[in-house]
C-alpha cells in the first residue's frame, strides 16, 4: 500500500488494503491460491518470496495486510482459529517461570488454554478484575511478561480501560494483549490506546457469516511482529487459502454489518431492560452499565452482543434459550444471523468451578442483522 492509501478511511481499507487487482488477469477479487508449493527460478529464486504455503500464501498475505491496515498495526498474521493465534502468541511471549495476568471474565477457551495447557509448561497466571485497573497493578509480579484483556468481555460484557491498563503493563515492562473479537476493529482499535498485540477470533464478526473458523494477531511493533511471524511458521497453525479468502470477503462489509448489529442490539437491550422476567441486562450501551463512559470513549458504537439474567434462575434461563425460534440456539457469535445460548452450560462450561465461572441464570445473545421488529417479537415470546 502507498502512503496515500494508508490515510484512507476504515471502510476503504477494509475493501482495498492488501487487495490490488491481480497483476496477471486483473481479477478484482484476490484469487484463492489453493496451492502448497511454488516454482523457483533457479535454486532460491523465489517469486515475490513465495516458497511453501505454511510460510506464506498470496491469499493469506492479502488478508494479513488488510488486518494490519484495519487495526493500525505493523503486521497482521492469520491463523487456523482464534485459539491457534493465542497459543502461538503466548508461546512467543512466555517461557517457563514467566507470569501473565488474565481477566476474571474471558472466553472460556482462552481460560482453558491458560489453566489446563500453559501451566503444564511452567507458565504462571493470576486472575484479576481488569475492569478496575488498580487490580491489574496489584496482580503484577517481577516475572510478569504480559497482561491479557478482553473488552467488551465474553460473556459478561465488562469494559476495561485500555489506556489505563496499557500504562500499568508498560510501567512493569509487560506487553498488553487485547482480545478485540467482540468489538471488531471497526468499533475499537486497541493499538491506538497502547495495546501491543490485538487478538481476534475471525470466526466471529470479521468472517461474519458463520461459515469459517479462523484467528488473527495484529502486532504494533515490527520487532515483536517478526518474532511472532517466526513462530507462526515454526508452529504451523496457519489459515488455509479458502478460509483466508472467506475472512477477507467478510471484512469488506464489516463496517455496515457492525452498524446494524449495534443498532439492533441497542433496541434489544432496551426491550430487555423493561422486561419483568429480566433481572439484569449487560450491555455497554446502557447508561447504567458500569463501563458505559469508558466504552463510549474507546468504542465507536457498543456492538451486537447482549447478555441478560433471567428471573427464576438456571432453569428459567435454559427455557428462554429453548423457546427462542428466530434466535438460533447455538454457540459462537458475530454472524449475520441471531444466536442465543446459555454460557454456563455451553461456551463457558470449561470455566465451572474457577474464578471465571459465569452466573447460572445468564443468557447470551448475538444480535444479528435481521429486521429488528422480528428479533424483538421472538425475544418477547421466548421470555413468555
Half-sphere exposure in the Cβ direction for 182 (13 Å, CA): 31
- Residue 179 bears catalytic tag: yes
C-alpha cell at 125: 497466571
Task: Tell me whether residue 268 or residue 333 sits nearer to ligand PLP (CB atom).
Answer: 333
Among 57, 92, 110, 264, binds ligand PLP (CB under 6 A): 110
Half-sphere exposure in the Cβ direction for 162 (13 Å, CA): 25
Q: How far is the CB of 27 from ligand PLP (least distance, A)?
A: 28
The Cα diameter of the chain in Å comes to 74
Cα separation, 196 vs 265, in Å, equals 30
Q: How far is the CB of 104 from ligand PLP (least distance, A)?
A: 14
Among 154, 189, 232, 298, binds ligand PLP (CB under 6 A): 154
Among 54, 91, 277, 345, the active-site one is: 54
Quick note: the x/- pattern for ligand PLP over 185-214, rule CB under 6 A, is ----------------x-xx--------x-
Q: Please, which of residues 161-190 interact with ligand PLP by CB under 6 A?
A: 179, 181-182
Cα separation, 298 vs 305, in Å, equals 17
- Exposed e or buried b for every residue in 89-102, given b needs 16+ CB within 10 A? bbbbbbeeebbbbb
Task: Tell me whether residue 156 or residue 191 sits nearer to ligand PLP (CB atom).
Answer: 156
139 is a contact residue toward ligand PLP (CB under 6 A): no
- Residue 107 bears catalytic tag: yes
Task: Tell me whether residue 61 or residue 201 sits nearer to ligand PLP (CB atom).
Answer: 201
Query: Cell 489506556 appears where?
Result: 163
CB-nearest residue to ligand PLP: 82
Cα dihedral across residues 336, 340, 346, 347: positive or negative: positive
Task: Tell me whether residue 33 or residue 107 sits nearer to ligand PLP (CB atom).
Answer: 107
83 is a contact residue toward ligand PLP (CB under 6 A): yes
Cα separation, 129 vs 104, in Å, equals 5
Q: Is 264 helix (H, G, I), strand (E, B) or coil?
A: helix
- Residue 52 bears catalytic tag: no
Cα separation, 356 vs 346, in Å, equals 14
C-alpha cell at 24: 496477471
Among 112, 137, 204, 257, the active-site one is: 204
Q: Which stretch binds ligand PLP (CB under 6 A): 61-69, 81-89, 238-246, 255-263?
A: 81-89
Q: Please, which of residues 24-53 interact with ligand PLP by CB under 6 A?
A: none
Peptide bond into 155 cis (omega under 30): yes
Q: Which stretch binds ligand PLP (CB under 6 A): 75-83, 237-245, 274-282, 318-326?
A: 75-83
C-alpha cell at 277: 422476567
Where in the sequence numbering do the catalytic residues fall?
Answer: 54, 107, 179, 204
Question: Which parts of this chain interact with ligand PLP (CB under 6 A)?
Answer: 81-83, 107, 109-110, 150, 154, 179, 181-182, 201, 203-204, 213, 215
Amino acid at each position: 500500500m502507498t502512503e496515500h492509501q494508508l490515510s484512507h478511511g476504515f471502510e476503504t481499507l477494509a475493501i482495498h488494503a492488501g487487495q490490488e487487482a491481480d497483476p496477471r488477469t486483473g481479477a478484482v477479487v484476490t484469487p484463492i491460491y489453493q496451492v502448497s508449493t511454488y516454482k523457483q527460478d533457479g535454486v532460491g529464486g523465489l517469486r515475490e518470496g513465495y516458497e511453501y504455503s505454511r510460510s506464506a500464501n498470496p491469499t493469506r498475505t492479502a488478508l494479513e495486510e488488510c488486518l494490519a491496515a484495519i487495526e493500525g498495526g505493523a503486521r497482521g498474521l492469520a491463523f487456523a482459529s482464534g485459539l491457534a493465534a493465542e497459543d502461538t502468541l503466548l508461546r512467543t511471549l512466555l517461557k517457563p517461570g514467566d507470569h501473565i495476568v488474565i481477566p476474571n471474565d474471558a472466553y472460556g477457551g482462552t481460560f482453558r488454554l491458560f489453566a489446563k495447557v500453559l501451566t503444564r509448561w511452567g507458565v504462571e497466571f493470576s486472575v484479576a478484575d481488569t475492569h478496575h485497573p488498580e487490580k491489574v497493578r496489584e496482580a503484577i509480579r517481577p516475572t510478569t511478561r504480559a497482561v491479557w484483556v478482553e473488552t467488551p468481555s465474553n460473556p459478561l460484557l465488562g469494559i476495561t480501560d485500555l489506556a489505563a491498563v496499557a500504562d500499568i503493563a508498560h510501567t512493569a515492562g509487560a506487553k498488553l494483549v487485547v482480545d478485540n473479537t467482540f468489538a471488531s476493529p471497526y468499533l475499537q482499535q486497541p493499538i491506538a490506546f497502547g495495546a501491543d498485540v490485538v487478538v481476534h477470533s475471525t470466526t466471529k464478526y470479521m468472517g461474519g457469516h458463520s461459515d469459517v473458523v479462523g484467528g488473527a494477531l495484529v502486532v504494533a511493533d515490527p520487532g515483536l511482529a517478526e518474532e511472532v511471524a517466526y513462530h507462526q511458521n515454526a508452529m504451523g497453525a496457519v489459515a488455509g487459502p479458502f478460509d483466508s479468502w472467506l475472512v477477507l470477503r467478510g471484512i469488506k462489509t464489516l463496517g455496515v454489518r457492525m452498524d446494524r448489529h449495534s443498532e439492533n442490539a441497542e433496541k434489544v437491550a432496551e426491550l430487555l431492560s423493561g422486561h419483568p422476567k429480566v433481572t439484569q441486562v449487560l450491555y455497554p450501551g446502557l447508561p447504567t452499565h458500569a463501563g458505559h463512559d469508558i466504552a463510549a470513549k474507546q468504542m465507536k458504537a457498543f456492538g451486537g452482543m447482549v447478555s441478560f439474567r433471567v428471573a427464576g434462575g438456571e432453569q428459567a434461563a435454559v427455557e428462554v434459550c429453548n423457546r427462542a425460534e428466530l434466535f438460533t440456539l447455538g454457540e459462537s457469535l458475530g454472524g449475520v444471523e441471531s444466536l442465543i445460548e446459555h454460557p454456563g452450560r455451553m461456551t463457558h462450561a470449561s470455566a465451572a468451578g474457577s474464578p471465571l465461572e459465569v452466573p447460572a441464570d445468564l443468557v447470551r445473545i448475538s444480535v444479528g442483522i435481521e429486521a429488528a421488529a422480528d428479533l424483538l417479537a421472538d425475544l418477547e415470546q421466548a421470555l413468555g
